[in-house]
């Protein structure tokens, strides 16, 4: 199999944060048909959280660059239309699938249905002599000309070039380039990385209704000192991560989107009660 046999969308994402549930900041992609780039997609995203300075150190994107950008749901709908039913290709594809999965879940966006090919696993198999298998290292190992990294469209194009290098190496062993080998035992999809809903304790059942009905509520929340405080919030999203339940909610005092650990929420009540 090669890129000449079907249309592939090489893509990459950048995020506003480096820890916790991801928030999309930029998405870039290039559609390749018969080994030729046909069209590209590149958009910044206005995240509902401040951009982490550590993230900016990686990709260089700052707050003033995204002020006029759309929120993630609008950008994702356009991206999903761009992708259609094509397979996507990304370097460390599980990361990008997870980013898309969280944002699709937050925004009630139907995710792309196609599977991902992962150039990280392909490079480990077909380019074993590289010092490591980070995308930038592979580009140096393959003697690609220098260029910008850690911006979404740029890295999507580098991913395409690494993919083609792996395909060239695979000519010596065509059995390694079958659909089953390319997709792996468990194909990577956005749907497979959708965050699970948390197990909500009985005392917090009102949270699920508040999220569904966009109802402002009070949380009795235990802080780091162990003292409880009442926090007025507008719940947005419930999810489980690493076997712990979380609530993303807009803090009605600061206007910021914050994440609350469910284990620290002692009670839920209506605002004004």
| Model confidence pLDDT, tens digit, residues 9-44 | 999 999 999 999 999 999 999 999 989 999 999 999
- Of 151, 171, 193, which one is at a domain's C-terminal end? 193
Q: Are 74 and 147 in the same domain?
A: yes
Q: Do 188 and 206 belong to one domain?
A: no
Q: Where are the alpha helices (DSSP H) in 108-253?
A: 119-126, 135-141, 152-170, 179-183, 206-213
pLDDT digits (tens, 9 = 90+) for 194-248: 999 999 999 898 999 999 999 999 999 987 677 789 999 999 999 999 999 999 9
Q: 186 and 244: one domain?
A: no
Distance of CA 49 to the CA centre of its chain: 15
Overall average pLDDT of the 45-69 stretch: 97
Site of tokens 């290709």: 89
Range of the domain at 222: 202-270
Tokens 């260089």 locate to 60
Residue 151 and residue 172 in one domain: yes
Say whether both 254 and 135 belong to one domain: no
- Report residue 255 as tokens: 């206007």
CA distance 135 to 125: 14
As beta bridge partners, residue 70 has: 45
Is 74 in a helix, a strand, or coil?
helix
Q: What percent of the chain shows pLDDT beyond 90?
A: 83
Q: Residue 211 corresponds to which tokens in the numbers above?
A: 């999220």
* Residues 28 and 113 occupy one common structural domain: yes
* pTM metric for this prediction: 0.93
Residues 62 and 139 both lie in one domain:
yes
Instruction: Using the 3D structure, point to which of 132, 160, 193 is the last residue of a domain.
Output: 193
Mean pLDDT value of segment 191-195: 96
Buried/exposed 233-258: b ≥16 CB within 10 Å, e otherwise: bbbbbbbeeeeebbbbbbeeeeeebe
What's the mean pLDDT in 42-47?
A: 98
Total domains in the chain come to 2
CA–CA separation, 26 and 145 (whole Å)? 24
């Amino acid at each position: 199999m090669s890129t000449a046999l079907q249309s592939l969308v090489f893509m990459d994402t950048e995020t506003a944060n480096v820890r916790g549930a991801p928030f999309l900041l930029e998405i870039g992609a290039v559609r390749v048909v018969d080994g030729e780039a046909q069209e590209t997609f590149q958009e910044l995203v206005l995240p509902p959280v401040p951009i982490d300075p550590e993230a900016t150190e990686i990709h260089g994107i700052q707050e003033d660059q995204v002020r006029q950008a759309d929120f993630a749901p609008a950008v994702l709908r356009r991206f999903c239309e761009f992708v259609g039913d094509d397979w996507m290709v990304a370097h460390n594809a599980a990361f990008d699938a997870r980013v898309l999965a969280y944002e699709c879940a937050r925004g009630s966006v139907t995710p792309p249905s196609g599977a991902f090919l992962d150039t990280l696993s392909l490079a480990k198999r077909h380019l074993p002599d590289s010092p490591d298998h980070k995308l930038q290292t592979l580009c140096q190992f393959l003697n690609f000309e220098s260029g910008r990294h850690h911006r979404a469209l740029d890295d999507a194009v580098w991913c395409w070039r690494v993919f083609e290098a792996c395909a060239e190496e695979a000519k010596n062993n065509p059995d390694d380039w079958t659909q089953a080998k390319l997709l792996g035992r468990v194909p990577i999809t956005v749907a497979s990385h959708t965050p699970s809903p948390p197990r909500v304790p009985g005392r917090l059942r009102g949270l699920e209704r508040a999220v569904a009905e966009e109802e402002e509520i009070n949380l009795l929340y235990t802080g780091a000192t162990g003292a409880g405080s009442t926090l007025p919030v507008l719940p947005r999203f419930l999810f489980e991560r690493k076997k712990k339940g979380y609530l993303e909610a807009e803090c009605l005092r600061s206007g910021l989107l914050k994440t609350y650990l469910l284990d620290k929420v002692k009670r839920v009540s209506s605002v004004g009660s």
